[in-house]
Amino acid sequence: MGQLLTNDDDFEQSVVTRRARRAVSDEILIAFHYACDLRDFDIAKKLLATFETAIGTQENTPGFNRKRALDALLAAHERLWTLTHEDVGAISALGIARTTAY
């Protein structure tokens, strides 16, 4: 069972410990997705570049999973490209529909 917290200092330490478990690169990735949700693509691009730098500096960190980080990086690039090229997808879909109609 969990340990009961006896005072405010214990509570604050518990919060700090939970926050410290998440890597900086994970926090940057969360901010990237939030910027995408808000459609602030300039900020999203800058956060993506920062994420790339962050995962590059974490390679020697214990517990770092290179494949997971690169998969997240690829997915983030795909999301940003998809969001910034939505008009290309719509035109492409119309072109496919036209060619199949003939």
Q: Look up the domain containing 84 and give its range.
A: 8-101
82, part of any domain: yes
Domain count, the chain: 1
Quick: pLDDT tens for 44-100: 999 999 999 999 988 888 888 999 999 999 999 999 999 999 877 555 555 655 544
74, part of any domain: yes
94, part of any domain: yes
pLDDT of residue 58: 85
Q: Which residues contact 97 (CB under 8 A, 6 or more apart)?
A: none
Q: Which residues contact 32 (CB under 8 A, 6 or more apart)?
A: 44, 47, 48, 51, 76
Rounded Cα–Cα distance for residues 44 and 78 (Å): 12
Of 22 and 36, the structure prediction assigns the larger pLDDT to 36
Of 19 and 53, the structure prediction assigns the larger pLDDT to 53
Predicted confidence band at 1 (pLDDT cuts at 50, 70, 90)? very low
2, part of any domain: no
34, part of any domain: yes
pTM of the model: 0.66
29, part of any domain: yes
